[in-house]
Amino acid sequence: NAGVTQTPKFQVLKTGQSMTLQCAQDMNHNSMYWYRQDPGMGLRLIYYSASEGTTDKGEVPNGYNVSRLNKREFSLRLESAAPSQTSVYFCASSDRTALTMVEAFFGQGTRLTVV
């Protein structure tokens, strides 16, 4: 009963390096999300994907790219990391029908430090 799994849990990057954060869910959800959490800022949406093959920008997409590889997986890529991208990153998934709006389920987070 894994839910939403994120890898890695911790990462330290040098400025300018690239990396991909992985996320997978086993709940057959259509929608997936990437958020970043910074002190005093709450959670801010980076990108989201309503269904396989679609992605949309959130509040803070600059410096990031995403790929919805299939229904289970949604990755977040930092092409050239900057110290401002030091944060905790959360992946989430949810589903909905026409009648109900369902809550999101979150991964454990990735703590990223860019030096």
Partner 1 sequence: AQSVAQPEDQVNVAEGNPLTVKCTYSVSGNPYLFWYVQYPNRGLQFLLKYITGDNLVKGSYGFEAEFNKSQTSFHLKKPSALVSDSALYFCAVRDYGGYSSASKIIFGSGTRLSIRP
Among 8, 12, 18, 56, binds partner 1 (CB under 8 A): 56
| Distance in Å, CB of 62 to partner 1, minimum | 17
Among 17, 19, 43, 52, binds partner 1 (CB under 8 A): 43
Distance, CA of 31 to CA of 106 (rounded, Å): 12
Q: Check residue 1 for interaction with partner 1 (CB under 8 A).
A: no
Residue 33 vs 74, nearer CB to partner 1: 33
SS (H, E, C) 50-110: CCCCCCEECCCCCCEEEEECCCCEEEEEECCCCHHHCEEEEEEEECECCCCECCCEECCCE
Q: Check residue 81 for interaction with partner 1 (CB under 8 A).
A: no
Among 1, 40, 53, 62, binds partner 1 (CB under 8 A): 40
Among 17, 63, 86, 104, binds partner 1 (CB under 8 A): 104
Amino acid in position 91:
C
Distance, CA of 28 to CA of 94 (rounded, Å): 9
